[in-house]
Structure 1
Amino acid sequence: MDIMKEKKWDNLGFGWSLRCWQERAIQKLVHQLENGVSRVCLIAPPGAGKTICALALAARLERFVEVRVPTTALVEQWNQRIQDALVCLGESVQPPFHVDTYASNTPFNPEALLIMDEAHHLTAKWGLKIKKQWNPEQQILFGLTATPPYQSKGWERFVDLFGLHPVQIPAPPLVRESQLSPFQDLVWPVLADINDLPQLVRYWEQLQEIEEELGAPFRFWKEKMLVERWWELTEERFINRSGLLVALCRIRKKSGRELPNDITEEEEFLDTPTLEDRALVIWTYAKEKPDIITKLKQIGFLIRKSGPVLKEDIAWKALSHADARVQGALDVLAMEDKQRADFLRALIVCNRDVEGDVLSARQILKVLVQDSRTAHLEPILVSGTVFWVDEDIYDNLQRHFIGGEWVKKDNHYELDVKDWTTSNRVALATKFLATGVTRCLVGTRHLLGEGWDCPAVNCVIDVTGISTSVTVNQIRGRGLRPDPNDPTKVASLWDILSLSPGVPNGDRMLKQLKKRHQHTFGIDEKGRIRSGVERIDPIFSKRFSVVVGEVEAIQSRMEHRLKNSSHSLQQWAVGQDYLDTQLWTIEKKADWDFHPVVLPKEEIQIPQHNAGKDSLVVRVQRKRQRSLITKSTVLLCATLCVYLAIVNSGLPMALGAIFEIPILWWVAQKQEQADRVSILVETLHEVLKEQEPKLGSLHHDGRSWWVDGEEHGESFAVALQTLLGPVRYPRYLLIEENGSVFAVPDQLAAHKTLAEKLARMWSKNIGACSVVYVRSEKGKKILRSVWKAQTSNMRSLELVQLWK
């Protein structure tokens, strides 16, 4: 867009030096704008300097700047920061900025840079308002946030405003440079009693009543769908992301019956059916039965084009309110006290103050002061309406309060604070925590969430029962401020994870845990800095039943990590140099083996691309021909060794020599397989490099592969994961002469010429092959055979995002 520069910038300069992560972020934002986009977004943790980055970008673009913020307090902060950051280079001028709240109706400057601070607030009405006012032909929209609303209801609107490719400043560089405290994400799993989950059980029983009403025809239909229509269901699963096949398989397994022979028992099929699974099957069968649809709605389902969805997230609500989470919080707090002693500064964050259908701050405080393991922490509760203290510190605290009436209740005192301002209550409670008058502060997320600051906090326990990433990230951030009085601080960020095996949706909190940590970095068991829930414990990537069976073992590992927090501090390597780059690697798990599906030759066509003279297949054939004599010689030598062993050392030694022969053969076969995988990876890289010359160099360290550079690293890793993983529903299949079948990655499947390019390189480097279009009749037939032949133990390679 051709825009006139704001002349006032001729006399203004940006007066602050940028840190390396800030400069890198600005360069990426400028690069996006130079490529023609009119909307950008910066995601950065507290302490990263989002405002400074925004002002630096504004200085480079030299436009008039409109800033919008959610509160008047932030308006004042922005105006002050503008005055601090910009310097006059000549005559004094007023900076070309206008700062206002989102509620303002003041129109934007027609050619302005529009900076939207705390952009996660734009997922509701404010976002709709900004979208109407923004002119993408003339204005640049720039969002700033520390807490993007991943997986929340407003995510689509956020993406609509700021796009799918935000620039992100991760936490690790800030930890390295002491802008954030080193931390550990820790999870304490607990098992919820079914008696704590009456609503889940009631929904399940109501669905069961509908199924019984539908009777034998419904049961026969379910049987017929799996036996006769599994192919169509599988297509719908991968094309339209329909969950019907998964739902039918889960329900069948739950009833104790095996799946039909044509259906491979994937892990996803073995979980307990969810409420949505049962409702989807009923709805699919009874779409034309208004009375059944009405009953689904009465239970609590909304009927959409894709099927029924629950009006409320009742599973999350029930699991987060379970009494087991209260006990879990006490267990964690007792462990933290044992480890940190007088240095513990714990924050327990609840969703609300008043007791009701979620864990409340009052409920937590009452339990803390009654438990012998935590009462000596002198807990204090502060909320929008109350200020409670443990009875043991009441005498010491009275002098801090002028006015207000104290009331003794059980093991605590309650202060009448109706004449106090909320800010005064929070400030005093914060002071008590920082100075050690109390070692545990209990409060609500509204008071102690966004904007609250207490660097002394070294333990955060989240019992809010809030699943949105915005709130969760705000809560996590409360423990990340560096403590000037404790240079060895390693913050513990605790999730109390409620699980309920055998109950529908009993894995709801585990699923949300996986989503939440998909975008956060931390230290894994190998000492690497990576994203994903596997870094907390690899078991969280496994099936729900496996996690449930390991609850005590997980708790033991979490306790061990807490005791060894000094080791975590070393792994963060605060103060050491870093590259500030992200790598996407593809890694082989311990149970991964390379075994592509091999179809009978009569089911495949004659290869369209013949093997090259130096291809792997040709070289292996030559090697095997040359080794015939060698193998005969080895066999003769082995026989001689056995004979000599019998003569000289007896039968036991001879048996050892006999067993060595198949072992050596197995080792040779494994090496041949490893060589084959390496050539497959190199071939894929070579083809993608032709498509995208900027693709970085390929690296391999024995168990993982990656390419240099952030821009295309993830794309390559995903392509490799597709090529070497189970076949799902690709556009094209690559079939070798021996019948081995591979899915052509999406990056090379947009049209046949790309797929053929892979096939030509494959034939040159590996062996004869052909590509088949899956949507053709022949392709469908081959794909069905592949799905039938795939075994349940086929594993995908793991995609890992690392920071270095």
Structure 2
Amino acid sequence: MDPSTPQLRVHQRRALQALESAWDAGRSRAWIVLPPGGGKTRVGLETAARHLRDGTVTKAVVLSPNTAIQGQWVGAAAELGLTASDDRGLTAELTSLTYQAVAIFDADDEVADDPDDDPDDDASASQLARLHPNGRALVERLRATPGLLLVLDECHHLLEVWGELLAELLAELPDSWVLGLTATPPATLDADQARLVDELFGGIVFQAGVPALVREGDLAPYLELAHLVTPTAREEEWLAEEATRFTELTTRLMDPEFGSLPFLPWLDERFVTAVPRVEVAPDQLDAALRLHFAGLLALPPGAVLSERHRRPPTPADWVALVDDWLVRCVVPSEDPRDHDVLDVVRRALPAVGYVWTRRGIRVGRSTVDRVLARSLAKTTATVGLVAQEWDVLGDHARVLVLCDHERATAIVPEALDGVLDDQEGSARSVIAALVGDPATAGLDPLLVTGSTVAAGEGTLRALVEQVRGADPALADALVVEPGEVATLTGPWTSRRWVPHVTRFFESGGSRVLVGTRGLLGEGWDARRISTLVDLTTATTSTAVVQTRGRALRVDPTWPDKVALTWSVVCLTEAHPRGGQDWDRLVRKHVGFQGIDAEGDVVDGVGHLDASFSPYVPPPVADVDALNARMDGRARDRQAVRAWWRVGTPYVDQVRPTLRVRGRVSAPAEGSGPPVPPPLVTSADGVLVRGTLLAAPSAFVLRHRRRRLVAWRDDVLRPVLVAPSLQQLGAAVADGLLSAGLGGPGSPGVVVEQHPSGEYRCRLDGADEASSWLFTESLEQLLEPMATPRYVVARYVLGPDDVPDPGFWATVRGASAVRRAMLRARPSGVVWHPVPSALGVNAARAGAFAAAWDRWVGPTSLLYTGSPEGAGVLAAQQGSDPFDATTVIRRHWS
């Protein structure tokens, strides 16, 4: 091994230890997850080197998604003293090949240049690709090699594109060692992908997330930001015109004469009054609950509203319900009124990107989405972000702008003539804007794609001179072709020009690189990137992880580097699908952790701004204020670095946390674990715990004055306010534990108050499933009364139920004390829903009631299916005793 080879990092050592343990236990297949920049290549090479030395492996073969990564394996293997080659003959100790060597596979082109096209369609085509003769011959050589170690690098591609072909390949190699390496977090895998990992690899052997490597100092601290824009005036005008047809449709749907069984009565029969209850798809139920929130539908029996339902219905919600209505009610009907209904709906659907087919409503091309994805406002915003980075960082500034494609190849629809330029949204349009703007032209913006190197003429000549220092013959053959944006042509391809462009960029010859995700989104490293501007539309887990990994490398020339990633998002309220770009942003951040403005590491759009919801975009009126807030965070990089607390201990665990605002409180800071309210026992055995049911006798108050003061302060005063969040959380946690649903019970409940006044509650010492069950159950307890199966009572004292402080000073003698205490009696009762997981049956509900009795106060448990319970439900439905706003976020620690 070369003496200059870096020592193994903490997570590389842990991954190797976990791998060896798995193989010692008899496993021959393993799956390891490390983020971009986490050193997956080194883990694979160390594994190969160790087992080549001990003889358990005779040959190592690495398959990776592109030639750039293929070359990295060959070079890194040589540094470890291994003989390495990219020859299919498998003659070297380690052979590095691409997946294309086995089968037709195009991992770099996961999304079409038109966001209207469904990327899954392209993936499906790749999955159907079959082995060509050369690929089959390679598989035969692999199968004939004893002691084979097969390393599948960036193997998330296999889940997304190869599918069953991967299973067929591994079936050919039953006696081989197989190591899968990926940067894609398990949380972002869909159900089918997770199943495939379990079936083919036996689950994940080791994983570490980006935040853990930042804490170790192996990746740069980073900040995720969103820059929000609205469409240009012409774009907005067109969008408003398009919205008219859909508005007319929703208006018709409210018409009680529209169809033989109109839309709203149909929904009522389908979701509210159906007996027996008809099964509906989850997306239809969610849509119905959002219609309920909008006041258009009664609450379906047993339904519980969560954060995702507390917003107006989207076009997708309307479509899901209208489709059900058309297929089940309108189309089978012979009534002429229903024929008219179908005709009206069919004409209106294209305005929101849907079409009517014989199988029902299906997604069609969305011209609206195309306008939002490619809005000129995004290009203009990119110029501003680049200029701001130069203003803040000066010579440290290195900006990478990533686009989906170099040129737009899809023809702009006639409807967008004069609204959107043919090339808007492409890398070509971005480089033209950067070169043409005085604020950024001096940064020497440079375009590099799989087919083009382009920039201002002076920038390209400087690049040629740098090439000359390494390859004079190549430099002499390069030609700068003039134009608004000049092009550098010659006898080279991307495999040759990418290293030259990378060195030019890192040395400061160009401080702004514009590229495509296919070329620079994976397998390309530039440590000096300070900021990434993401203009891509791809939302697959692969694309998101690899895109965000570009800026996270540690820069040896800048120890205090903090990387920024800007997502540019276009919003409009002029059209019902004006949140399409926002939905894309949300999908990009699912399972991806970032630091928020309070220094917490959370996933989802919540780390961009605490006000952001994954279910609804922010109001357009707030755009300027939000952008100003983002700019302020972007400028204070030292604060961001401090938030990350590099070098401090961590758990590397992600757990849900309930964020609460409302009429709840938390114990004072430092009060320790939750403790039940005081207990007072009267002579006749009445228990009083936080809530008074009967006044204690003189026997209890033998030491009159001291007991009186304690009873007043410890028992009466706490019930003048709502119970604390700690009490409620403890009741839920103990209820779940007693019901056999897992978790550590009340000792694991942690409540923290943040400077904003928000409370955050989580369950420590629990596995992820138990944490989620606790968090969702507590959220249900705090929400307005819906239609629970069981309810519990909380008896309350009002201010008029307790004598004022002056009265107590006049009390003398035992009889007077007793009379005084009898004046303090509860005058009201508040009913609360038993969370759905605990309301499944009487036994679980009883376990919760017992926990409630301990932590909140004596209670009554009612089944809402009983006459008394139905009466309580009818009276209390919709009540909101805590007036709480709740959201669930996943926190890393």
TM-score by length of 1: 0.75
2:232 corresponds to 1:196: no
CA contact (8 A) 2:354 2:366 kept: no
Per the alignment, residue 800 of structure 2 pairs with none
2:95 corresponds to 1:69: no
One-letter amino acid of the structure 1 residue matched with residue 441 of structure 2: A
One-letter amino acid of the structure 1 residue matched with residue 892 of structure 2: W
Distance 1:705 1:80 in 2: 49
1:687 to 735, 738, 757: 738
Per the alignment, residue 892 of structure 2 pairs with 803
CA contact (8 A) 2:652 2:892 kept: yes
Per the alignment, residue 540 of structure 1 pairs with 612
Distance 2:93 2:868 in 1: 62
1:345 to 387, 394, 398: 398
SS in 2 for 1:550: helix
SS in 2 for 1:443: strand
2:224 corresponds to 1:185: yes
2:482 to 401, 408, 413: 408
Q: Structure 1 regions of 5+ residues with no counterpart?
A: 1-14, 88-93, 596-610, 638-660
Distance 1:82 1:398 in 2: 31
Distance 2:515 2:566 in 1: 16
2:645 to 573, 588, 591: 573
Distance 1:686 1:53 in 2: 41
SS in 2 for 1:562: helix
Distance 1:188 1:488 in 2: 24
Distance 1:720 1:450, change over 3 A: closer
Distance 2:502 2:61 in 1: 35
How much has 1:17 moved relative to structure 2?
7.0
How much has 1:556 moved relative to structure 2?
0.7
Per the alignment, residue 209 of structure 2 pairs with 170
Per the alignment, residue 704 of structure 1 pairs with 760
How much has 1:117 moved relative to structure 2?
1.9
CA contact (8 A) 1:203 1:275 kept: no
Distance 1:694 1:169, change over 3 A: farther
Per the alignment, residue 618 of structure 1 pairs with 688
Distance 1:219 1:590, change over 3 A: farther
SS in 2 for 1:243: helix
1:159 to 174, 194, 198: 194
Distance 1:727 1:449 in 2: 46
SS in 1 for 2:602: strand
SS in 1 for 2:438: coil
Q: 458-467 or 74-83, which moves further after superposition?
A: 74-83
How much has 1:682 moved relative to structure 2?
5.0
Residues 289-328 of structure 1 mapped to structure 2, 5 A cutoff: 289=331, 292=342, 295=346, 299=350, 301=354, 308-312=361-365, 316-328=369-381
2:462 corresponds to 1:373: no
How much has 1:237 moved relative to structure 2?
11
1:276 to 301, 307, 316: 316
1:329 to 350, 369, 382: 382
Residues 122-271 of structure 1 mapped to structure 2, 5 A cutoff: 122-124=158-160, 126-135=162-171, 142-147=179-184, 155=190, 157-163=192-198, 166=204, 167-193=206-232, 195-196=234-235, 216-218=257-259, 221-225=262-266, 231=272, 240-243=281-284, 246=287, 259=296
Q: 195-204 or 99-108, which moves further after superposition?
A: 195-204
Distance 1:469 1:591, change over 3 A: farther
CA contact (8 A) 2:34 2:208 kept: yes
Distance 1:53 1:389 in 2: 39
Residues 451-490 of structure 1 mapped to structure 2, 5 A cutoff: 451-490=523-562
CA contact (8 A) 1:706 1:717 kept: no
Per the alignment, residue 512 of structure 2 pairs with 440
Distance 1:398 1:354, change over 3 A: same
SS in 2 for 1:224: helix
SS in 2 for 1:223: helix
How many matched pairs?
A: 731
Distance 1:779 1:120 in 2: 56
CA contact (8 A) 1:736 1:769 kept: yes
SS in 1 for 2:361: strand
Distance 2:639 2:41 in 1: 34
Per the alignment, residue 411 of structure 2 pairs with none
How much has 1:544 moved relative to structure 2?
3.7
2:775 to 705, 716, 720: 720
Per the alignment, residue 632 of structure 2 pairs with 560
Distance 1:222 1:270 in 2: 22
Distance 1:29 1:677, change over 3 A: farther
Q: 362-371 or 96-105, which moves further after superposition?
A: 96-105
One-letter amino acid of the structure 2 residue matched with residue 189 of structure 1: L
CA contact (8 A) 1:592 1:796 kept: no
Distance 1:792 1:349, change over 3 A: farther
CA contact (8 A) 1:231 1:784 kept: no
Distance 1:113 1:234, change over 3 A: farther
Q: Structure 2 regions of 5+ residues with no counterpart?
A: 83-90, 103-134, 333-338, 409-421, 467-474, 667-678, 754-758, 795-828
Distance 1:213 1:502, change over 3 A: closer
Q: 712-721 or 516-525, which moves further after superposition?
A: 712-721
SS in 1 for 2:655: strand
Distance 1:277 1:622 in 2: 48
Distance 2:654 2:604 in 1: 14
Q: Compute the RMSD of aligned alpha carbons.
A: 5.3
SS in 1 for 2:695: helix
Distance 1:208 1:373, change over 3 A: same
One-letter amino acid of the structure 2 residue matched with residue 129 of structure 1: L
1:531 to 585, 589, 603: 603
Distance 1:764 1:693, change over 3 A: closer
Distance 1:212 1:163, change over 3 A: same
Distance 1:722 1:134 in 2: 43
Distance 2:539 2:510 in 1: 29
Identity of aligned residues (%): 23
2:591 corresponds to 1:519: yes
Distance 1:117 1:741 in 2: 52
Distance 1:717 1:592, change over 3 A: farther
Distance 1:125 1:205, change over 3 A: same
Residues 68-147 of structure 1 mapped to structure 2, 5 A cutoff: 68-71=63-66, 74=69, 78=73, 101-102=98-99, 103=102, 104-105=135-136, 106=139, 115-124=151-160, 126-135=162-171, 142-147=179-184
How much has 1:739 moved relative to structure 2?
6.6
CA contact (8 A) 1:732 1:749 kept: yes
Per the alignment, residue 91 of structure 1 pairs with none
- Please state which structure has a larger fraction of its residues in helix: 1
Distance 1:28 1:798, change over 3 A: farther
How much has 1:188 moved relative to structure 2?
0.6
Residues 764-803 of structure 1 mapped to structure 2, 5 A cutoff: 767-770=858-861, 785=874, 788-790=877-879, 795=884, 797-803=886-892
SS in 2 for 1:538: coil
Distance 1:32 1:687 in 2: 36
